[in-house]
Structure 1
């Protein structure tokens, strides 16, 4: 089953965006439009179990990377070669894609994640609990859903991020019509697999890599640098001052500038 994708810009795309946990492709739309204005059309992916893409029975980074690879080949043929940008969970998919399907990746951008176990994913436990405990049968509107979530999720930006996954579709089985579009059961029960880093053996990606971190995030630590260099010997690390884990939301202009500079490198 094909993944849901959205094209931003005109012409043959040369950039791919992969979102993080509980996200969807459109999280990158603003930055993608800025790149398109500079001649870089892009494809935004909804990864499995997110957005409008299909659900699976397991969390498997190699399988997710394989599905992205299949979609790129289907769209662009055997000559597909893209700059792949991935954030958090999507950054791990992007890294595995580059390691296992290097012919599809001309450049790699990894945003605020490392090729290691990401213990910070456990901070999603209370978010999962809040989403699961939201009484969808009692929700009268999206605003009402936000007010209900506010009891457990203090940050308004986080509430809005989670609520992008709440879809209103009235059916015979679900008369009120509200349902989570994200596969909350699978992802909530398998956060350890989301946090994990898969076995990649002796694989190495020799293309250029930009490794972007937010200075206010703890997802990238000094001990990750050696592993990153082993897998990606041409890596260059940059930090976005003042940004947390969601770098593209906290500092879109700064991240866009880094991406454009990277795309312009020889």
Structure 2
């Protein structure tokens, strides 16, 4: 078997920056060993101390924010949640916001020097709320993107379930790209290929597998439906409303017009979280990918708001 040489995970950034007409920031991968021996991984963009930390949604990774970061043009920390990207999987498969929050708090203590504008999309939003609740000194402002504690996203669209309940390893990444596009994911083949590359890895045997734990849990649950195994539904966190109520930082909810948070959901959020600010953006659930300009502008506005 020939040796496979992987291209850099930052291979796509210059092309993205050129398309946007912006410069490529300095970027490096960070690794933090947690008290239980797991590793937490992150990307640090730009020079200087980051004032913004980004937390992605379930099944994604820190690179989902690349375009938003390029447009933001500020030092940023983007973290791979446990079980995603280059961060270790959890043995208990508990990917609720409250379970993930202690990792993020340790990362902020290690990698930042000031309270953060903490932006979390979907699962990252529930995690951000838990961090803001338990470590108010670390969070200057909380931006939650297209999620509320009242929404059950565990089922997901049927096409997405079919995508992750299929095989967990493949001979080539092209097979995954073909599969993704056949199910309607990705606007162009190059963009889909980028997403697949950044969310997969080459095993020692040369096979390609998903980096995130959810795909493996979904496939296992499909094979053993009565096993009681924790699956992607484990992202739900019943304590999310309490976390939001306890957060001292200003809170903004970003509702994607074509996403998960409906207008009634947003009104429920406004009622339960008095004083919160709600912004609607014409985007799908992954706002950072389908409306990065608008999201970057919203985050940038937080820089000029009173600390």
Q: TM-score, normalised by structure 2?
A: 0.73
Cα distance in 2 for residues equivalent to 1:62 and 1:123: 21
Match of 1:83 in 2: 117
Structure 1 residues 116-159: Cα deviation after superposition (integer angstroms, max 9, x where no partner)? 2x23431256434433423735x2x31232224444x2233496
Match of 2:106 in 1: 70
Contact 1:210 1:238 in 2 (8 A): yes
Contact 1:95 1:108 in 2 (8 A): yes
Structure 1 residues 145-181: Cα deviation after superposition (integer angstroms, max 9, x where no partner)? 2224444x22334965466422123x2xxx2331221
Contact 2:176 2:196 in 1 (8 A): no
Residues 210 and 199 of structure 1: is their aligned pair in 2 closer, same or farther, counting only changes over 3 Å?
Answer: closer
Cα distance in 2 for residues equivalent to 1:257 and 1:91: 18
Residues 146 and 88 of structure 1: is their aligned pair in 2 closer, same or farther, counting only changes over 3 Å?
Answer: same
Structure 2: 5+ residue runs without aligned partners? 1-37, 222-230
What's the C-alpha RMSD, in Å, of the aligned pairs? 2.5
Does residue 1:6 correspond to 2:59, yes or no? no
For the residue of structure 2 that corresponds to 1:211, the secondary structure is strand
State the Cα distance separating 1:83 from its structure 2 match: 0.7
Match of 2:227 in 1: none
Cα distance in 1 for residues equivalent to 2:305 and 2:158: 40
For the residue of structure 2 that corresponds to 1:122, the secondary structure is coil
Comparing 154-163 with 79-88, which one deviates more in the overlay?
Answer: 154-163
Contact 1:82 1:106 in 2 (8 A): yes
For the residue of structure 2 that corresponds to 1:48, the secondary structure is coil
For the residue of structure 1 that corresponds to 2:40, the secondary structure is coil
Contact 1:59 1:187 in 2 (8 A): no
For the residue of structure 1 that corresponds to 2:143, the secondary structure is strand
Match of 2:137 in 1: 103
State the Cα distance separating 1:252 from its structure 2 match: 1.1
State the Cα distance separating 1:215 from its structure 2 match: 1.4
Contact 2:168 2:210 in 1 (8 A): no
Match of 1:60 in 2: 96
User: Which of 187, 195, 200 lines up with 2:236 in the alignment?
Assistant: 195
Does residue 1:205 correspond to 2:247, yes or no? yes
Residues 222 and 148 of structure 1: is their aligned pair in 2 closer, same or farther, counting only changes over 3 Å?
Answer: closer
Contact 2:57 2:121 in 1 (8 A): yes
Cα distance in 1 for residues equivalent to 2:218 and 2:95: 8
Match of 2:260 in 1: 218
Structure 1: 5+ residue runs without aligned partners? none
Structure 1 residues 177-235: Cα deviation after superposition (integer angstroms, max 9, x where no partner)? 3122111233665232213433665852232122111112232442453445544x431
Match of 2:291 in 1: 251
For the residue of structure 2 that corresponds to 1:33, the secondary structure is helix
Does residue 1:115 correspond to 2:155, yes or no? no
Contact 2:53 2:119 in 1 (8 A): yes
Matched length: 251
